Amino acid sequence: MLSVADAENKVADLIAAARRAGADAADAVYYGSSSTEVQVRLGALEDVGRSEGEEIGLRLFVGKRSASVSSSDLSTEALGALVERAVAMAREAPEDDYAGLAPADRLLTGEPVAIDPDDGQDPAPGVLKDLALGAEEAARAIAGVTNSEGAGASAGRTLMALATSTGFARGYQSSGYGCSASVIAGEGSVMQRDYAYHSARHFADLEDARAIGHRAGERAVARVNPGKLASGAMPVVYDPRVGTSLLGHLAGAITGAAIARKTSFLLGKRGERIFAPGITVRDDPHRIRGLRSRAFDGEGLPTAPTDIIEDGVLTTWLLDSASARQLGEAPTGHAARGGSGAPGAGTSNLFLQAGGVSVQDLIGDIMLGVYVTELIGQGVNGVTGDYSRGASGFAIRNGKLAEPVAEITIAGNLADMFLHLTPADDLVFRRAMDVPTIRIDGMMIAGA
């Protein structure tokens, strides 16, 4: 993997080569990664893996025609051939009035905001092994746990550099660590599995491995011998680890591509109230040590914290330059891209702001409902907002969590679900998308 300076030079050199070959404009992105992973099962080392990789992607324009190519071979000969191939492809491509680089006057200049993404550490495999063993041991120590699917720990580093023919050339490096455990409780036909994990940018921020394992074991035991609920309309309460999926549906519905193609159930809703008053959903790319923090987006535009939902009102679309042109607007600094292809749009550290009610009070008046800890399937229609997913979790009876339930379906429409959503006060930042416990009234349950 290259250094940040070398990666910046590499993408800048590729841009220069593209211009010499006849491109009118171009951008290039480099991704490098290295990681070590350790897996254990039943107290024994099962696997140690080390992976390293790098990829460079080039997008160039000849008039209104463009092409995108990528390569994992960074040799001078390979990149020369890459440029030639891209220019030839672009000359045969159809014209696109909306494709192009981000406006030069909107690119990041000056010092980028500090996000502290890299702690510079490189834990030895033995350290990772001890973490994994500790997590599994704690999980298996929970009474009722009968088997293990294993535990793991990982450490890695990624590097991204972006350059454009309009003069932008910057990169950054970030570290990442993780620990997880997955165990089985019960025996025979009533066996249930569950898991727990944590990821962090800094090794010092990684949750204690034994706490992770303990949580996995307790979750698995609590799910043993599930029943079913009677069908009907009732409140549904989402555990934070599954409630994040609701933010994913929101983000997908407000990307520029979905709006431009008219394939979103939120089409025409910008500036309107789509959540209850007081609800805020914020995208914060500047969170210190955030899992998706970034000073600039995938096109080189500066990023900024944005209240996507403010007091229940949808305030913005998520626009890359192409979708912004198609809609006659300006890009919003939400461009995202991989090593190949054109940028799209997406979020960074997205979260639903905590409410003012405790979890106990949130469920305290529910005579019959369901607390969802796992979702199954992908039954969500982004065009209509219709929502239907398999689920499991726990019944809520007389304001308290009761017996485990499984093989149920929860259904509704996202537009109605958003309007009737109530957040608890237990927001914790653990993921790239975070929510507190969420209650939604009036959903349909298909059970026994």
Residue 249: count other Cβ atoms within 10 Å of its Cβ.
Answer: 17
Angle of CA points 283, 388, 197, to nearest 5°: 50
Nearest to 27, CA basis, from 301, 329, 332 = 301
Q: Yes or no: say if 251 and 346 are a contact pair by the CB < 8 Å rule.
A: yes
Q: Yes or no: say if 445 and 408 are a contact pair by the CB < 8 Å rule.
A: yes
Q: Three-state DSSP class for 108? A: coil
Residue 371: count other Cβ atoms within 10 Å of its Cβ.
Answer: 24
> What percent of the chain stands above pLDDT 70?
100
Confidence of residue 55 (pLDDT cuts 50, 70, 90): very high
pLDDT tens for residues 85-138?
999 999 999 999 999 999 999 999 999 999 999 999 999 999 999 999 999 999
Domain spanning 4-221, CATH architecture: 2-Layer Sandwich (3.30)
Specify the pLDDT at position 448.
60
Confidence of residue 339 (pLDDT cuts 50, 70, 90): confident
User: Per-residue pLDDT averaged across 146-156, rounded?
Assistant: 98
DSSP conformation class of 326: H
Domain ranges for the chain, please list them.
4-221, 226-448
Hey, what amino acid is at 52? Answer: E
Number of H helices, E strands in the chain: 9, 19
Hey, what amino acid is at 398? Answer: N
Q: What is the DSSP track for 168-206?
A: -EEEEEEEEEEEEEEEEES-GGG-EEEEEEEEESSGGGS
